[in-house]
Amino acid sequence: MKRKYFFFDIDDTLTVRTGPSANHAYIPDSTMEALRRLEENGHFLAICTGRSHSMAEHFMKMVGMKNMVHDGGNGITIDEKVLEIKPLNREDVLAFFRECDEKGFAWGFNPDDSIRRLTRDERFFELTKDSYMKTEVIPDLDPGDYPEIHKAYAAIRPGEESRVSSLSKLPWLRYQTEYIFIEPTNKAAGIRRMLKLLGGDPKEVVVFGDNWNDISMFSDEWTNIAMGNAIPELKKIADYVTARNDEDGIWKACRHFGWI
């Protein structure tokens, strides 16, 4: 069997959610066994996530992997070594913050690869109802003082996006009703850069995903597998739809194709 290059989304693909946030989740035993057998059979395994490196590193190690495409495709880690993390376009994000200030939308951002979000608006937590990461309120915060911005967040509810014209220049997603994430959304680009470093063949790539940001991971160049719990839009473009994440979906797909 040729060596395959497997890339797995984390939330609701490798994990099964048990609470209101992605932090309340477990990994099925069948998934862990599938990963173990894939590696035993000589295949390459990597996480492919929208999470930042700092938010995903512990998970990567927990499942026994050493490789990861992170930051929505803007970051690459091989053999536990971070090779790159590209920030967001700084000027576009600063313009977005200025417009949010003008229109009364609370915002926050990550200035680096750490589990640290900064805001100057005391309403941020109340408006977002968020526990995704620790948020520090700095009343005189000036985002222009920071050389890089890795991710940003704004308390913009559904239907209000069109009020902020500068948002059109930024990649963004909505995971919750209360606010949006401004973050890189090109997982496939990260996979291609990693393959180039590894000398891998795109035809031997297999990706597993479930949600909106995984649309950017699916490509005609390789095999795309959607979980049974995936959004309809992802299933529509998948090469194969496996069982749900809580019904041994990863194990069953790997057995179906004879990879384990």
Of 182, 210, 237, at which residue does a domain stop?
Answer: 182
CB 127 within 8 A of CB 167: no
* Residue 238 and residue 194 in one domain: yes
Question: What percent of the chain is modeled with pLDDT above 70?
Answer: 98
* Residue 200 and residue 79 in one domain: yes
* Residue 96 and residue 79 in one domain: no
Question: What percent of the chain is modeled with pLDDT above 90?
Answer: 90
Q: Which domain holds residue 17?
A: 5-85+185-256
The vertex-6 CA angle with 3 and 10, nearest 5°, equals 165
Q: pLDDT-derived band of residue 15, with 50, 70 and 90 as boundaries?
A: very high
* Residue 122 and residue 162 in one domain: yes
51-110 pLDDT per residue, tens? 999 999 999 999 999 999 999 999 999 999 999 999 999 999 999 999 999 999 999 999
* Residue 79 and residue 95 in one domain: no
3-state secondary structure 205-251: EEEEECCHHHCCCCCCCCEEEECCCCCHHHHHHCCEECCCHHHCHHH
